[in-house]
Structure 1
Amino acid sequence: MPRLTKSTRFRVALTAFAASAVALGAVSVWLVIDAQSRLEDGAAQVARARAAAIVQVLNTGAKPADLWWLVRDSIYEVADRDGKRAASCPGLRSGSLVPEGRFQRGDHVKTLEPYDIDLSLRESGGCAPVLGDHVEDEGLRVHVMAETSGDSKYSVYGAARVDDAGQAALDSVRMTLLTGVPVIALLIGAIAWLAVRRSLRPVEAIRSEVAEIGAHDLSRRVPAPDSRDEIAKLAGTMNTMLARLDTAVTRQSRFTSDASHELRTPLASLRTQLEVLLAHPDRLDWREACGNALLDITRLQDLVADLVLLGKLDNSAPERLTPVRLSEVVESGLSGRRGVRSEIEGSPVVLGNRGRLERLLRNLVDNAQRHARTGVVVSASTVDGFGVLTVTDDGQGIPAEDRERVFDRFVRLDDGRARDDGGAGLGLAIVADIARAHGGTAEVAEYDGGARLVVQLPLADPRS
């Protein structure tokens, strides 16, 4: 039971029940009060008309004692100046229609008890039709209007009871609403329960599927309903997230496998050299052995540095980018290099991190120099709103089928282009990640005389 009361279905159903009960109850109370007020107002108007009619009769010179046969179907009471009853209908044993025992103008409600009324008296005959059948058992509740005759000798009180048929209908409506409002509120709550249950069924299916998806089973997807509503959007978002996680985990797994393989080779070489040196110290030149070990350590350092940089590019938040001149990046990146020629067109300024952009250019130039026959050309220009860095070499070029995967991590082509002196296949991957972090792209362009790698970076706003 506590689990049920905490469910969304129960809370929504309870809210729907309470809200509908309050709303329907308020409307019902207003309707009953308004209808009762209308009935009371109708009785007051009738009482006013009866009082006015009796005043007109008295103004013609008629005596109060003659009203029993002159005025029919009217409840009234006439008192003289001393307040003594001069005539009434019905005949009264006790009690009076006079409010609080004194003359008061306006509408007043007066109740006569059964023992106050005597229908056997002659004057009761004129108003018998409007008294009702149970007046001697239930009494008489009437609205009283007070008037005075023209000569102010008499106080006239006209009275009328609320319409019996209207009151009976109102009482019936009141009882119907009293029992109907809770039933309707419960029905609305039940409908809300069923509607929410039906609406949350896809959510439960999504939750169950996600609960069964493990770190090694990210290829599964949650069921997406065809309703095109918020739940369908949630399922689509979940599937997109799972696809990203699947891609990231697969990439991370492959990256870890490739990294361990690349680290294993220099470590194994270094260990072998040290073991041979320790086993045969008198047969090997220790200076040459230490030099070879130092080369392996340098290779390990470079590989670890590349791996650390890739990890930062993958996991770190976007850095604050500032305007950087590509001409300055080219001048700094080519400083001290031989066989590299630069071509600067204009003065393109891009948004970027200067240190990272210099690393991007160094990797491109290092890659080009390893495969160039005679030289490398580096150019910077502005094309279609982008700053463009182009590095061209006159080597063997990159086959068309390898132009996309050459930017993947640990990719080394089957031909001699990437099987070089110690390359781990991370240089161009770092180029692609740095370009992507700057909102740009890196690609291999069509070029017949060798390889041409192009990096496009968004230009900085001139106002910045």
Structure 2
Amino acid sequence: MAEVGRATVRVRITATALGVVGTGLVAAAVLVLVLLQVSMRDNVDAQARLRLVEIADLVRSDRLPATLAGEDDGTVAQVVINDVVVTQSPTIRGDRPIVAFIPAGTEMTIRTVRNPPIGDGETHRVAVQRVDSPRGPAVVYTAATLEPVQDSTTTLALLMAGFVPVTMLLVGITAWRLVGRTLGPVEAIRAQVAEISASALDHRVPVPGTGDEIDRLARTMNEMLDRLEASARRQRTFVADASHELRSPMAVIRTRLEVGLARPDAADWPALAHGWLTEQGRLERLVDDLLLLARLDETVPVPAPSIVDLDELVLRAALDLHTRGDVRVDVTEVGGGRVRGDAGQLRRVVMNLLDNAGRYGASVVRCALSESGGVVELTVTDDGPGVPAADWERIFERFVRLNEARDRRTGGAGLGLAIVRDIVTRHGGTVELTDRDDDCDGGGARFAVRLPAAGD
């Protein structure tokens, strides 16, 4: 089917080229023939007129010779006075006018006459004019043969009849080869794409390196395959990591149930139930995070964006963190900041950042919010063990956990910061881990979120 489609494209393009070129050549050939014929006939008419003017002068002055000799240009003449032929060229046969028409006035008239009584009867252009003479009313006839015109146009027509088909044949062969050469890389790309499957996304289409549209098409397809391969790899990793993370709390619940059932009389059922609820809550949070990431991976636009007061979200999340009593929350640097987006997703960003800071902070978490130059910046700083500079980007990847110092009391799956980056990116912003401010003691980490301001 691919070869048929390719041949169809070649045939269609070649036929179009032949049609356009053929039409142009035929139209040009016809135009050249017509122009040549008109031009040469005008020359013949001019010869006939000049000869008639000369003969008319002789008639008016009554200096007509007994015989009007033929000219080198092939013109002949005849004079009729009082309906009698008084003189004519030797090549004129008979003693009657060479044509039957006579102009009504004294204006010169020229017509094409076929088979006149002149020579071998070739077609002539005949000029006729009434002239007054001393011997009475006279009619002067001059004729010029059209044989050179016919010979020239016939020769040119024969040349065109051979030139046009040969030219069209050359155009057809050239177009066929050029289209075939052009479609060759396209066919190679198609054949390679046909072999690519979900298990062979590492294959790439050949790039011709010509710098033209086909070269750009091949590069674009390879870029698309890069994205597909990265997406598939990310999906496989996501599924594997999700399966591992889901297995852990389920295994804990199963183990505790087995222990309790093995010794039901000695089991501390309230403690077991409390442990089950803890693992169940961890499992629910993990499932919620996985579902949210799955929705974020759909890359759909932010649903129904609205104006969100980011400072209100920060203050509410800070109050919740302060209520838990793990760390002190400093919100003295929280100012106004309005952004456009989904309030629920932005609330998740604030909560994840503050929960992360409260989980790893030793004693205090500082929040700052400001708006400047069309950008709203939120920073969350803790005084915990900090993050090595080499891991500042890696920490935003999914299911990434760092050292045990930052894993204490977590029970997390390493999805919180990945969710933060995905949501912030969808809202047109950025999030990064930066150096701490100088006024904070100890190690710790400082997360900075920048989002476009909503404006007025």
Question: TM-score by structure 2 length?
Answer: 0.88
Deviation track 1:131-157 (CA, whole Å, cap 9, x = no partner) reads: xxxx43xx2211111111134701112
Structure 1: gaps (5+ residues): 118-134
- Residue 313 of structure 1 corresponds to 296
- Aligned partner (choices 374, 380, 391) of residue 402 of structure 1: 391
* CA–CA distance in structure 2, aligned partners of residues 110 and 387 of structure 1: 97
Instruction: Classify the secondary structure of the residue corresponding to 2:321.
Output: coil
Equivalent in the alignment of 1:328: 312
Residue 322 of structure 1 aligns with an amino acid whose one-letter code is S
Give the Cα separation in 1 of the matches to 2:423 and 2:34: 76
CA shift for structure 1 position 36: 0.6
Contact 2:68 2:88 in 1 (8 A): no
Alignment map for 1:12-31 (pairs within 5 Å): 12-31=13-32
- Corresponding residue for residue 286 of structure 2: 303
Supply the distance in 1 between the matched residues of 2:241 and 2:5 (Cα, whole angstroms).
51
Give the Cα–Cα distance (whole angstroms) in 2 for the partners of residues 317 and 95 of structure 1.
100
Amino acid of the structure 2 residue aligned with 1:49: L
Residue of structure 2 equivalent to 1:47? 48
The equivalences for 1:184-263 within 5 A come to 184-263=167-246
Whether the 8 Å CA contact 1:327–1:344 is kept in 2: the answer is no
Q: 2:439 aligns to what?
A: none
RCO higher in structure (CA 8 A, sep ≥6) = 1
1:451 maps onto 2:445 in alignment? yes
- For the structure 1 residues 4 and 377, does the alpha-carbon distance in structure 2 shift closer, same or farther, using more than 3 Å as the test? closer
Deviations 1:353-392 (A, max 9, x none): 2221111010000111111111211110235542111111
Cα shift readout 1:43-84 (whole Å, capped 9, x = no counterpart): 111111111111111111245xx44157756412333455x5
Cα distance, 1:349 vs. partner? Answer: 2.7
Q: 3-state DSSP class of the match of 1:301?
A: helix
CA contact (8 A) 2:321 2:358 kept: no
d(CA) in 2 for partners of 1:309, 1:439: 18
- Other-structure match for 1:33: 34
Whole-angstrom distance in 2 between the partners of 1:71 and 1:234: 76
Q: Find the counterpart in structure 1 of residue 325 from structure 2.
A: none
2:363 aligned counterpart, secondary structure: coil
Please state if 1:393 is matched with 2:382: yes
Q: Identify which range, 414-423 or 21-30, moves more after superposition.
A: 414-423
The 1:382/1:263 distance shift into structure 2, 3 A limit, reads same
**C-alpha deviation, 1:96, in angstroms:** 5.0
Indicate the residue corresponding to 2:113 in structure 1: 110
Structure 2, unpaired ranges of 5+ = 323-327, 437-441
Contact 1:51 / 1:158 at 8 angstroms: preserved in 2?
A: yes
Offset at 1:345?
5.5
Q: Retained in 2: the 8 A contact 1:39–1:163?
A: no
- Which residue identity is paired with 1:112? N
Q: CA RMSD in A?
A: 2.6
Residues 431-457 of structure 1 deviation map (CA, whole Å, 9 limit, x = unaligned): 111111111111111125311111111
> Separation in 2 of the partners of 1:300 and 1:325?
31
Amino acid at match of 1:148: R
CA distance in 1, matches of 2:151, 2:224: 66
Give, as a single letter, the amino acid of the residue that structure 2 aligns with 1:110: V
SS in structure 2 at match of 1:454 = strand
Is the Cα–Cα contact under 8 Å of residues 6 and 183 in structure 2 kept in the other structure? no
User: Secondary structure of the residue that 1:302 maps to in structure 2?
Assistant: helix
* Distance (whole Å) between structure 2 residues aligned to residue 56 and residue 416 of structure 1: 128
Judge conservation of contact 2:80–2:97 (CA < 8 Å) in 1: no
Q: CA deviation at 1:273?
A: 3.5
Give the distance between the partners of 2:95 and 2:284, measured in 1 at CA: 119
One-letter identity of the residue aligned with 1:268: A
Distance 1:288 1:69, change over 3 A: closer
Letter in 1 for 2:55: I
Partners of 1:43 and 1:163 within 8 A in 2: no
Deviates more, 1:355-364 or 1:166-175: 166-175
Q: Comparing 446-455 with 425-434, which one deviates more in the overlay?
A: 446-455
* Counterpart in the other structure of 2:140: 156
Amino acid at match of 2:113: K
SS of corresponding position for 1:7:
helix
Distance 2:202 2:330 in 1: 48
Percent identical residues: 38
Structure 1 length-normalised TM: 0.86
Residues 71 and 244 (structure 1), Cα distance of their counterparts in 2 relative to 1, 3 Å cut? closer
**How far is the alpha carbon of 1:86 from its aligned partner?**
4.3
Question: In the alignment, is the contact (CA less than 8 A) between 1:97 and 1:110 conserved in 2?
Answer: no
